[in-house]
Amino acid sequence: MDPMYIAYFEETEEFLQKAEGCLIKLETAYSADDINELFRIAHSIKGSSMMMGYDKIGNLTHKLEDMLDYVRKGKLQLDSQVFRLCFDGLDYVKKLFESKKAMLDEENDKDVVLAARKLEEEIDQLLRGISEEKNPDRKQSEPVSGIVSAMKEVEHEAKNRYFISVFFSDDAPMAQALLFMIFHNIKGIGSLLYSSVSDHDIFASSPDRSVTSCEMILNTEMEASELYPYFELTYVDKTVIIDISTNSLQNLAVPDTPNTFAFFEMFFNEFKKIYDVLFDDQTINSSELLTIIREQAAKIGNEAENASPHAVKWEIKRCCERCLLLLTGKTKLGNESRNMIRNEFMEMFEKVYRFVRGRLIFKIFKARNRNFKNQLSEIVERMDKTLVRKLLIDVSALNEWETSDLTFLIDLKRQLRGKGITIAVIAGVPLNKRLVNILDSIAPIERFSVFDTELNAALGDYAAEGRSNIWGGAAK
């Protein structure tokens, strides 16, 4: 049987048992909590049944939901008639449900369906008898709690917290059924702090929007690796789980210490020396290259050992150790070994750059089409210039520059140069040729290094500002 149907039958059976328990308790003593619980159960069964295509169950529970809504708002007394309608309605729902569960032919339900329709008409007549002033506006009724709301109400302190994104495949036929399955699967393993979908998205007969993915924040004792099976459903294209627990986020933070800044400044300076020789096949022989790589890798690895703890520290150390291992016993560096070391170092560079980007060493400004000068000025004014060595200005999406923008950019470059900060311009792929031509035209006044990608701009020479005005390297 399809997992969606299995989940529906399990969930509905549990709801029906709870509903019967609520009615029995209400016969003994009135309780607003039991009335509200009964109302929520009717709403949930209605929504999930409609979603699965079981309209007869959905229609009957919808009428029971309407009647219970009147009761909980004090517009209808919970008298013997209402009790009879609730017990009879629950009995018919059970029979229709068992028939669906046993996959019996609809002909077997004929008598139950006729009795259910009569009961629906009786409920309609009862509610019509209430004055118009007491008739609630369904659109303004109180929010209904369902499976999503129930998970949000659970108080569950847990050591782990995850942001989870679930993406549906393009051919998913029933997003509501898929959402129901997802939340049904995880309802017992934690609590929800946030969900991008609501009970209305799952249970409404006519949802207000099309849902192609869902995001949530889940508190749970489980590890991320244990969670993936809960989302392995037909029509789920991919699932992304990110640990946002306090300890995990602290590990991602860049320590704001002089020691940390000095380490990363050293790393990028030493890496540039390695990069220049690794990607220069003509001006250095293999034995000299071997010596330089050994020296620089050992230096970076040793400094990483002494640096403050941070997320990429051990990545750097392991990369250097792997490269030194590759060089063990070699007197010359062949093309295969050179390419392996190139890949190791470029992967390491990208990880470290992504880690410090915008926080230390590198600041980035993405130019928009309005207020270039004001926006850039604000960024520069706010940044701690003692922690910056390069400002990357991305103009790939910019259509034009005003003369005042260029004047400001030239003045800014000269001011930052005095503080040990260089500027690199990112023109995009393909290049924003219009702006590149403008920068070429002002080269006699002030030369700007222009790069195709952000990573290449970060790799550009700190001091010399590039060997050509437009530069693209290995890091595409």
Q: Calculate the alpha carbon distances from 394 to 265, 297, 407, 426 in Å.
A: 22, 31, 17, 5
What is the residue extent of each domain of the chain?
3-140, 147-250, 254-356, 361-471
pLDDT per position as a tens digit, 209-220: 788 899 999 999
- Per-residue pLDDT band at 172 (split at 50, 70, 90): confident
Q: Which residue has the higher pLDDT, 405 or 50?
A: 405
User: Percent of the chain at pLDDT above 70?
Assistant: 88
What tokens appear for 71 in the block?
């009761």
CATH number for region 3-140: 1.20.120.160
Cβ proximity of 94 and 16 under 8 Å: yes
Q: Which amino acid is at 40?
A: R
Instruction: Decide the pairing of beta strands 160-168 and 213-220.
Output: antiparallel
Q: With 90 as the cut, is the pLDDT of residue 242 above it?
A: yes
pLDDT per position as a tens digit, 348-360: 899 899 988 998 8
Instruction: Decide the pairing of beta strands 422-426 and 449-451.
Output: parallel
What phi and psi values does residue 372 have, to the nearest 5 degrees?
A: -55, -50
Spatial separation of the C-alpha atoms in residues 476 and 472, rounded to whole Å: 8
Backbone φ/ψ region at 358: left (φ over 0), alpha (ψ -120 to 50), beta:
left
Spatial separation of the C-alpha atoms in residues 202 and 206, rounded to whole Å: 10
pLDDT value of position 378 = 93
Topology of domain 147-250, CATH? Alpha-Beta Plaits (3.30.70)
Topology of domain 361-471, CATH? Transcription Regulator spoIIAA (3.30.750)
Instruction: Please report the beta strands in 94-196, taking only residues with DSSP state E, as ranges in sequence order.
Output: 160-168, 190-195
pLDDT value of position 175 = 81
Q: With 70 as the cut, is the pLDDT of residue 140 above it?
A: no
User: Percent of the chain at pLDDT above 90?
Assistant: 34
pLDDT value of position 205 = 60
pTM of the predicted structure, to 2 decimals: 0.59
Cβ proximity of 145 and 192 under 8 Å: no
- Per-residue pLDDT band at 208 (split at 50, 70, 90): low
pLDDT value of position 427 = 92
